[in-house]
Each structure stands twice: as structure tokens, then as C-alpha cells.
A = this chain, B = another copy of it.
Amino acid sequence: MTHDDILKAAGLTQDDLHGGTLAVHSPIDGAEVARIRETDAAEMPAVIARAQGAFRAWRQVPAPRRGELIRLLGEELRAAKAELGALVTLEAGKITSEGLGEVQEMIDICDFAVGLSRQLYGLTIASERPGHRMMETWHPMGPCAVITAFNFPVAVWSWNAALALVCGDPVIWKPSEKTPLTAMATMKIMERAMKRFGDAPDGLCQLVIGGPAVGEALVNSKDVPIVSATGSTRMGGIVGPKVAARWGRPILELGGNNAMIVAPSADLDMAVRAIVFSAVGTAGQRCTTLRRLIAHNSVRDDLVARLIKAYGSLPVGDPRKATTLVGPLIDHASRDRMQAALEKAKAEGGKVHGGRTVTSGVPQGGAYVEPAIAEMPAQTDTVRTETFAPILYVLGYETLEEAIALQNDVPQGLSSCIFTLNMREAETFLSAVGSDCGIANVNIGPSGAEIGGAFGGEKETGGGRESGSDAWKGYMRRQTNTVNYGATLPLAQGVKFDF
């Protein structure tokens, strides 16, 4: 399909695509595929006011009924899966299977959120006073800004929006300036769901497109109590304190520097498969991409040799082709940062395999690279820095304690894993003295989380949690209630105050 075919199939009209100032390029070939209208920062107060208006209505809609909207969204996403997946490929450069997988994740979170709409459980609590009853209830919080990154241009919105909407919060979405089209197409799908739903309030789901000024309006507004931001640690380091300073609640999903420990007993065939997928998938541009391989010295050389071989066979190229496994980087700047990191790694004593720019057999105009393996003498500054590209740094270790120390000795704390068949090693890795990450896996790579668990990480990853478990509590306000139905007024802790 041509770019235009894909855009059209995803429901984007000529009017949507033209007449604006923001140029959108496809990473496949660098072609400009649209020039769209941006939201003027001056419009933002009205946007936020509409969300507040929607909130006053939506919070009164029963949660199971709110869930019905998300159920319809899931149905519409199922119907539009192929088209939206193709658009993800076009705009973000993901391979076809991953483009579809991203939409599947949206569908999964809808299913989850529908069930959740009857399970936003608070607690009833025994009071210490006769004639009293206590409970904890969770109420809608208010408008939720969702700031997303290019690499999951639609799924991250759905993680937040499905939960926020079920929780009673209107959503204002600011996608990456690099991927506004998938956002626009998603909004059209959402509008179909809302139309079938019937009486969703105006302003319930809004999309704003633009740069820092638009984002700052959300970050700084007291009328946007929740700001969920996915992106770089640098961005999050600005957003978090600003939101905190005006008493808002940030939900931050920032950088990762994810490692795999490969122990002597590991199933190396499985490890190789897991490493290649998690280091190379999405061209190394997932926040959960495997970036550091910490291999026991007894298996390290064997493992590296296998990886070099596997890397050699990976088809790099047009992500629309079914056989491609490595699509383009998002842009040329990204490729340049990758090259710079590899140079730095070499200067630090690293031995680099692969990593070259690919120009033949690929669409011209795109930033295609061979994924790289860099055998490092130590965990250098370069290793400790997240470079959003397919570079896998390899380190050796002798004891598990040493491996865990290496794993933890980076500023980020998102995802981690160990490959081992030894239950003592596996359990230690998951224990209080093991990985310090928000995600810690055994015998699967660091990427590809299921939506049933809480997703997010510690340290510079920002501490936020999205998706499963009780991550929904991040979108609601908790209220502790004590109800006295007796005719006396006993005080807690036995205090007496009689006048």
C-alpha cells in the first residue's frame, strides 16, 4: 500500500492532513506525509475548561456505564486493527507484527478496563468505636493529561485513557510531534465508540497537537490534576517537579536501561531468542529494550558468538514487508546519536560488532542501521546512559551478587531479567536483594509486558505505574470515611473532652 492508501484507510481525510504547519514524516523513507494543524497554546485554557466541564458530568456516570464506552472502544479497535496497525508502521516505522501488536495491546487494556469498571474496589473497615462504620471510597479525580512518545504512539494513550475514563477522568492527549497521525486516527476510532455510546459529555476525550508550549499548558494547569507523561528522563525531570509544585499528580514512565543476566545454567537457545527480540525489536526503541547483557564469564563468549551470528541474519529494511525484523530508526538524528554512542563506547575500550548504517536494500530516506553489540570492559558512562537505538552492551560477571550489583548500578530502574534454570538464582534475583527495577523477569526478556501487571519503574524511570494491578488508583482520589450512626460521640484513642 502507498502511504496515501494507509492514511486514507485509517480514516484520515485530506483536510486532516493538509493546511497546517507541523510536517509529519514517515521514518520509512523520510517522506513528508502530512502537514497538520497544531493546537495554539492560546487555545489550551478552553481545552482544559472543556475537560473540566466534561468531568463534572462524567464523574456522575456510574463506573460500569463508563466501562461500556471502553467496551465499545475495544470493539471499534478490533474492527480497525489492521488499518491502525499499518498507520503505526507508517508513522513510527514499526514492523508490521509490532504495529498490530500495539493495537492488540490497546484492545487488551480495553477488555481489562471494562472488567475494572465494576472492580474499582475500596475497603470497608471495622471502626474502633461502637455505632461507627468506616470505609474507603475511590472517586474520579479530574482531567488527565496524557503525554506520549513516538515509540508507542497509540498504546500508551490507551493504557492511560482506558483506565482514566473508567475511573471518571476526562483525557487530554498530547502525542509526540513525530506521531500525531496515529493519534488523530485513534481519536476517530474513539469518536465512533462515543457516538455508539450516546451521551458522553463534550470534551471527554481531546487531542492537542504541538510542542512544548502546549505541553506546558497541561503541566502547569491546576485544572489538570493528573499528568501522565511517557518519554525521556530529561523530560520527566522537568515535568515531575512542575506538576508537584502546583499540587498535581505526575505519573511518569521515563527512560530504562534494561539488563539481562545470563547465568551459567541458562537455556542459551532461549536466551539468544529473548536477547535478539528484546534488544533489536522496535529497532531498540522501546523503553523496555534490552540494553545491557550481563553474562556469566563461563557462557559469555559462546553467547556473544551466537548473538553475532543471529544479528548477521536479521533482515533490516522496510517495516511494511512481512519478512523484515528491523525497521528504521525514527529519524536521522537518532541514528547520529547511535553512532556517537558507539564511538564513545569504542573510546572506552569497547569492541563493537555491527552498528553500521544500512543504505542498500532499504527504502531511501530512512535511517536504517544494523543493530550493534558492544563488548565492554566495564560499566562505563556510555553504558549507564540510555541511547534510544539498538545497541546491546555486553558485560561479564563471576558471582550473582556481582551481576546484580551491575544490574542495579545505573540511574534508571525500569525493567530487568535473569536467564537461569537455577531456582536459587531466580528467586534471589526477584528478592529484596535482587533487581531494583519495577519489572523483574525470569527467563523472558525485559520487554513485552502483559497488561495485567502494573507497568513502570523506579529511580530515574520516574516511579509511575500504569496498566494492571491497582495502577488505576493513580487516576482516582481516595477518601476515608467514618460514619457515626449512633447518638454519642466517642473520640478515637480514648481521648476525653467533656464540657
Using a CB–CB cutoff of 8 Å, the interface residues on chain A facing chain B are: 59-65, 67, 71, 97-98, 100-102, 104-105, 108, 111-130, 132-140, 168, 237, 240-242, 244-245, 247, 249-250, 267, 270, 273-274, 276-277, 281, 310, 313-314, 325, 420-424, 426-428, 430-433, 435-444, 448-455, 458-460, 462-463, 465, 468-469, 477-489, 491-497, 499
A59 CB contacts on chain B under 8 angstroms: 432-433
Contact of A489 among B121, B270, B420 (CB under 8 A): B270
A478 CB contacts on chain B under 8 angstroms: 438, 454, 465, 469
Identical copies of this chain, number: 4
A489 CB contacts on chain B under 8 angstroms: 270, 273-274, 277, 444
> Do A443 and B125 contact each other (CB < 8 Å), given the known contacts A111-B115, A241-B244, A274-B489?
no
Are A137 and B483 interface neighbours, CB within 8 A? no
18 A-B residue pairings within 8 Å (CB atoms): A65-B128, A100-B495, A108-B128, A112-B115, A116-B119, A118-B128, A118-B452, A121-B125, A244-B250, A421-B423, A424-B485, A442-B483, A443-B484, A443-B485, A448-B493, A449-B492, A453-B481, A455-B480
Are B495 and A97 interface neighbours, CB within 8 A? yes
Are A462 and B61 interface neighbours, CB within 8 A? no
A442 CB contacts on chain B under 8 angstroms: 423, 481-484
Are B494 and A101 interface neighbours, CB within 8 A? yes
Are B423 and A485 interface neighbours, CB within 8 A? yes
> Do A481 and B137 contact each other (CB < 8 Å), given the known contacts A114-B114, A118-B125?
no
Are A124 and B132 interface neighbours, CB within 8 A? no
Expressed in whole angstroms, the Cα–Cα distance for A133 and B487 within the complex equals 24
Expressed in whole angstroms, the Cα–Cα distance for A432 and B481 within the complex equals 13
Expressed in whole angstroms, the Cα–Cα distance for A65 and B128 within the complex equals 6
Expressed in whole angstroms, the Cα–Cα distance for A452 and B481 within the complex equals 11
Contact of A428 among B114, B314, B485 (CB under 8 A): B485
Closest 9 CB pairs of A and B: A115-B115, A427-B485, A63-B126, A122-B124, A101-B495, A453-B480, A64-B128, A118-B452, A241-B241
